[in-house]
Structure 1
Amino acid sequence: METIRLEFQPKIKAKILELLSSFSSDELKIVQEDSDFEENKRKLDSALVKVKNGTAECCSLDELDLFLEEAISKYEN
């Protein structure tokens, strides 16, 4: 399947959905877009730039394990 993104005025939503409902579920699936998509995309693009230019903060698996153990023990009690 292919995916496209549509932007439309709210007043024509019913007409669009009526047209799309004429297709079977094998032919068309309506996927609701995440309302935070653009903000998440911006954050991820920013993080990717940092990874590519070498300014991202990274840690080893041992450091991550230690951090997670400390966080878990903090909230266990």
Structure 2
Amino acid sequence: AEWCGPCKMLAPILKQVKEASGEQLKIVKIDVDQNQSIASKYQVRGVPTMVLFKNGKPVWRQSGVMQKPDILNVIQSYS
């Protein structure tokens, strides 16, 4: 969402996570205001919400801003 300050804070962190993870990770950002059906499908109640998918299924979710090391630890725990 354009108005979401924490989302803007998370964007550069996710860029760093992607750079650290290489091709094994795909990061997709969804604007909940523009994609309400997707937000509803994945039960996004607050923004930012991160959802980790493995084999096409959501395996982890977290609302709020997290730091790069914490996000990488979550990814590692599911890989």
Common fold: TM-score over 0.5 = no
Instruction: Tell me the TM-score normalized by structure 1.
Output: 0.27
Q: Which has the higher contact order (CA 8 A, sep 6+)?
A: 2
Instruction: Tell me the TM-score normalized by structure 2.
Output: 0.27
**Bigger fraction of residues in helix:** 1
